């Protein structure tokens, strides 16, 4: 009898501790909402971070009630576009390392989440996105895992997120970060909270420490050097793009080739076959959309490292110029952005090819990061 009472007491004690810990974990995760599953404001995380951008952004669309007229898609370069500078009702669905092969999945997820298709689409096209394999040599569609959340009951999915101890650790870190808020401590890739859907765009602050910037630039340069060596042009590239302009999607599409520093453009010129691939990407993109804005060529912005965190990601002012050029507003640099159509594509490609090849024998502001 005594043993039974002891067992009962031990069981009650264990259950009480378990319930207390679980309740604490769920309360913290609900308050911070690190995976963006709920529709409430929080004072605990003005600055957030991407844990896994594909399910997080999908959760915003699925679980928060806001209208989307303009959908922005693309890679991390596009993720840094401020949606509210594009449209009052815009949503940035850009995803890290996003490839063209993911576009059909992204459009399907948007429709599943919102129940309609966007009336306008801004799509950032990257040269590496025209490959059939990611930079780490994986060829599986990375957005398919986010699609799986639609197979789960929304209540069960939310409970799983609330009860995650791993997510509670991230929530606590976010609370600490925001309590000890310091602009200097805000990292690249953080997300500033905004009502409803947070904007969901990345923050890419410039790097003022030249030693650190050289480290970042060299690392990016070497990563792209490897990825361009194993680049395989996606034979379904045109088909992947076409999902944005074919019924049931009936949208006004503004497509642009994202800018990058001339430091990595040199790699396209010096790697056998890549210039031909770049030309093919431009031609096929124009064939699908009728016209595209190209920012990936030698100009005053791409040649000046001061406009860049590293050669793959620019500072906010450049993204503003991109939108201004496409929307016909503001005052972007005169030589930044060329609208390419079937009428001028041959001339444009001829000029760009000459520019890329000339980079092999020229020096610009990026040279200090290339030379050992």
Of 365, 369, 368, give the one whose Cα is nearest residue 307: 365
pLDDT band at 270 (very low <50, low <70, confident <90, very high): very high
**Which segments of the chain does DSSP mark as H helices, in order?**
2-32, 53-63, 76-79, 103-114, 144-147, 154-162, 165-179, 210-229, 237-242, 262-270, 274-289, 316-327, 345-359, 367-370
pLDDT, one tens digit per residue, over 85-105 is 999 899 999 999 999 999 999
pLDDT at 236: 95
Give the domain ranges of the chain.
65-138+182-370
pLDDT of 234 reads 94
Pairing assessment for the beta strands 252-257 and 120-125 based on DSSP bridges: parallel
Angle between the 274-289 and 262-270 helix axes, to the nearest 10 degrees?
Answer: 110
**Whole-angstrom distance, CA of residue 111 vs CA of residue 128:** 26
> 71-80, 170-179, 191-200, 235-244: which range is least confident on average?
191-200
Mean pLDDT of 137-165: 89
Contacts of 278 (CB under 8 A, 6+ apart): 127, 268, 352, 356
The pLDDT confidence band at residue 256, using thresholds 50, 70 and 90, is very high
* Cβ-proximal residues to 315 (8 Å cutoff; 6+ apart), any chain: 204, 205, 206, 307, 308, 309
Average pLDDT in the 146-154 region? 91
Q: How far apart are CA 173 and CA 103, in angstroms?
A: 33
Distance (Å, rounded) from C-alpha 223 to C-alpha 218? 9
Give the mean pLDDT of 331-344: 97
Please choose, from the candidates 130, 117, 342, the residue with its C-alpha nearest in 3D space to the C-alpha of residue 244: 117
Q: What is the pLDDT, as a whole number, of residue 193?
A: 76
pLDDT, position 207: 83
Of 128, 89, 106, give the one whose Cα is nearest residue 53: 106
| pLDDT number for residue 14 | 62
Report pTM.
0.91
Residues above pLDDT 90, as percent of the chain: 68
Q: Could you name the CATH architecture of 65-138+182-370?
A: 3-Layer(aba) Sandwich (3.40)
Q: What is residue 198's predicted lDDT score, i.e. its pLDDT?
A: 78
Task: Give the pLDDT confidence score for residue 282 in this predicted structure.
Answer: 98
Q: What are the tens digits of pLDDT across the range 167-185?
A: 999 999 888 888 876 655 5
Question: Within 13 Å, how many C-alpha atoms sit on residue 243's CB side?
Answer: 19
Q: Give the pLDDT band (50/70/90) at residue 22.
A: confident
Q: Would you say residue 1 has pLDDT above 80?
A: no
In this model, does residue 141 exceed pLDDT 90? no
- pLDDT recorded at residue 75: 94
- Report which of 208, 192, 174 is spatially closest to residue 82, judged by C-alpha positions: 192
Q: What is the DSSP letter of 35?
A: T
């Amino acid at each position: 009898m005594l043993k039974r009472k002891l067992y009962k007491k031990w069981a009650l004690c264990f259950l009480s501790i378990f319930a207390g810990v679980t309740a604490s974990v769920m309360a913290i995760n609900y308050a911070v909402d690190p995976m963006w599953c709920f529709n409430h404001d929080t004072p605990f995380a003005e600055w957030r971070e991407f844990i896994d951008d594909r399910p997080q952004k999908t959760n915003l669309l699925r679980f928060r009630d806001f209208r989307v007229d303009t959908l922005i898609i693309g890679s991390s370069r596009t993720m840094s576009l401020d949606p509210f500078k594009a449209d009052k009702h815009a949503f940035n669905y850009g995803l890290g390392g996003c490839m063209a092969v993911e576009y059909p999945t992204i459009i399907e997820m948007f429709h599943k989440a919102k129940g309609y298709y966007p009336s306008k689409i801004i799509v950032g096209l990257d040269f590496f996105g025209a490959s059939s394999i990611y930079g780490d040599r994986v060829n599986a569609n990375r957005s398919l895992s986010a699609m799986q959340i639609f197979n789960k009951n929304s209540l069960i999915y939310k409970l799983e997120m609330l009860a995650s101890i791993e997510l509670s650790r991230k929530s606590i870190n976010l609370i600490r970060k925001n309590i000890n808020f310091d602009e200097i401590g805000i990292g690249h890739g953080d997300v500033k909270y905004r009502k409803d859907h947070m904007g969901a765009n990345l923050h890419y602050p410039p790097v003022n420490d030249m030693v650190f910037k050289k480290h970042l630039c060299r690392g990016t340069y070497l990563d792209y050097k490897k990825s361009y060596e194993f680049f395989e042009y996606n034979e379904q590239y045109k088909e992947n793009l076409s999902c944005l302009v074919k019924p049931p999607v009936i949208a006004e599409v503004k497509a642009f080739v994202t800018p990058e520093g001339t430091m990595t453009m040199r790699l396209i010129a010096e790697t056998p076959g890549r210039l031909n691939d770049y030309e093919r990407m431009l031609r096929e993109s124009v064939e699908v959309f009728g016209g595209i804005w190209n920012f990936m060529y030698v100009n005053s912005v791409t040649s000046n490292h001061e406009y860049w965190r590293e050669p793959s990601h620019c500072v906010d002012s450049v993204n503003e110029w991109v939108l201004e050029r496409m929307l016909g507003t503001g005052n972007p640099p005169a030589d930044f952005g060329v609208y390419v159509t079937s009428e001028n594509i041959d001339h444009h490609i001829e000029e760009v090819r000459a520019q890329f090849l000339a980079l092999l024998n020229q020096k610009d502001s990026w040279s200090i990061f290339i030379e050992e």
